Amino acid sequence: MRHAVPALLVAMLVAIALVAQVHASYAVKGINTTVYLNRNASAYVKEAINITVSNSSFVQYTIDRSSVNLNISAWQNLIGSKQISPTIINPKAGIYGFNLLPGPLAKNGSAGTADIYLTYYVSNITTANQIAPRKIMYTFNSSFWNFNVGASGAILNPNDTLNIVLINNSKVISVYPLPDSTYAIGNRSISLSWYNAEPLYNFKLVFDVQLTLTQEITGFFSAVYSQLGIFSYIIIAVAIAAILLYTYMKARA
């Protein structure tokens, strides 16, 4: 009998938690997506999914946020929306380095808001072609969109924002639709932003990057290393030794 009481208590707590979960009220308000493009055609993506939380769900959200074993599927079920998911996905390779972090609850009377943060990497989001010495042209691959789909294709929801941060020293060649805002980050990078339910189904972004001499040399040796591995260091060492020997012999001649 003494063992039955704790078991009954646990069952009651579980039942209360389940009832609370059923009556939990959440809604996705908007998504802010920022895509940081890299020279190797990959991208680092940061997303802040803003949700509203009813007064009756404050405690439940705090409990859910403290849980360490809730994955993205669990959060989709908790919030009741498939919008809790990455908006940029490589259809062939997916994403990698994924992390989900539910943010703190900001209470405001009978309602509250919170952000659920997603971070991850996407490969081959751009196609790179060298068009001149130390100049590479990049074309954005818009087939990676996983935004809301309208009658004609991908479209931003009214409260969604898409930001694309270009590679340092980029120059935009063509872009459609025109960004709703553009601003510089320092003196080397550019960020383009779209919002106001902007349609993305005919999206186009082409830009070129002027490499510095250091970047070109670094890129060359990185390519050699990716092909030859540790043998690339041996080849470089032999080449340097040959140059030094040639210089020494020439000086003695």
pLDDT of 228 reads 57
pLDDT of 22 reads 44
pLDDT of 15 reads 45
Phi and psi torsions of 66, nearest 5°: -80, -15
201 lies in the same domain as 222: no
Q: Which of 43, 40, 63 is nearest to 119 (CA)?
A: 43
Bridge partner list, 226? none
Tell me, yes or no, whether 6 lies in a domain: no
pLDDT digits (tens, 9 = 90+) for 16-32: 444 444 445 899 999 99
CA–CA separation, 7 and 24 (whole Å): 26
Phi and psi torsions of 186, nearest 5°: 65, -140
Phi and psi torsions of 107, nearest 5°: -85, 140
> Cβ distance 127 to 141 under 8 Å?
yes
> Cβ distance 102 to 75 under 8 Å?
yes
CA–CA separation, 217 and 121 (whole Å): 26
231 lies in the same domain as 144: no
100 lies in the same domain as 124: yes
CA–CA separation, 118 and 120 (whole Å): 7
pLDDT of 132 reads 82
227 lies in the same domain as 119: no
Q: How far is CA 146 from CA 134, 201, 217, in A?
A: 33, 11, 37
Q: Which residues of the chain are modeled with pLDDT < 50?
A: 10, 12-23, 215-217, 220-225
48 lies in the same domain as 134: yes
Tell me, yes or no, whether 171 lies in a domain: yes
Tell me, yes or no, whether 1 lies in a domain: no
Range of the domain at 241: 214-252
Helix or strand holding residue 126 (H, E): strand 126-132
Total structural domains within the chain: 2
3-class secondary structure, 33: strand
